[in-house]
Structure 1
Amino acid sequence: MKGLKKQRRVQIILLAFAALAVSTAMIGYAMKDGINFFRSPTQVVEDPPREGEVFRIGGLVEEGSIIRGQSETISFRVTDTNQTIPVRYTGILPDLFSEGQGMVGTGSMVGDTFVATEILAKHDETYMPAEVVDALKAQGVYQDSGS
């Protein structure tokens, strides 16, 4: 009788581990399209993303690079002061989007151009997205304003 209880307990534990492994795999598979990794322009140049990979790019909008088309398409360049990537976006930009300011865009590379589906800009005079600050610090160009 003891052997049967022990065998049943082991079976239940193994079944619980198998269910946990299957549910973890299903959650990971479901989230794979929802996870967008952040990259700086230098990282994009040094390790190009695979075709169609959706990711986030961030840096500073390069001075004098904003070109507005006749439609809602806007082209500009994003830089981390080490490398520069051209960006194309169709849509309405945030009100605070401007040259020399921090931005983060979500999209994918088409050739050598990052085609953004979403653009986020800073929300006040001191804010810069954390990923952009980290990338600029890694390049050695970020100066903390002391706030």
Structure 2
Amino acid sequence: MTQYIYIASPMRLSKGSFGSNSVSPEQPNVFRNQLDFIHLYFENNYDSKLKRRFSYSPHFSYNHQVAAYSSHIPLNLQLKRTVEEEKCLTILYSYLEEAIQANGVVEYFTCLSGKEDLALSKKRNVHWLDIKKPYDLVLEDREFWEITF
């Protein structure tokens, strides 16, 4: 099953691809190596056909949400400390830092696809200043954080 990262905020969150490094703007799908291709794509929770927002999980209290997937973002007991893992966690760290500075608070949650409605394994309130490095963002399955600035 696929492990997703979900983020919610009281204000709009950025969507799109973060972290890929193509050879050039003229060749956006050509990369020097696998590491340059690795990225996170944040998809928002707006259904353009229905013209309304939906919630990725009932645990969220904010309407603006994004989801991202990467096989390189581990769960707490699956750390490998590879360069791919570090790159994805660094992208996530930068994304969250920007969102928290803009919004003051975000909710951060991870779980396997299809398990978003299950009970949380852990819930915490965390201050952003206590998150010192990208690896501090590694969670357990179905762990939920409210991060404040």
The TM-score range, normalised by the shorter chain, is: under 0.3
Which of structures 1 and 2 has the bigger CA Rg?
1
Higher helix proportion: 1
Higher strand proportion: 2
Q: TM-score, normalised by structure 2?
A: 0.24
Q: TM-score, normalised by structure 1?
A: 0.25
Q: Which one has more relative contact order, counting CA pairs under 8 Å at least 6 apart?
A: 2
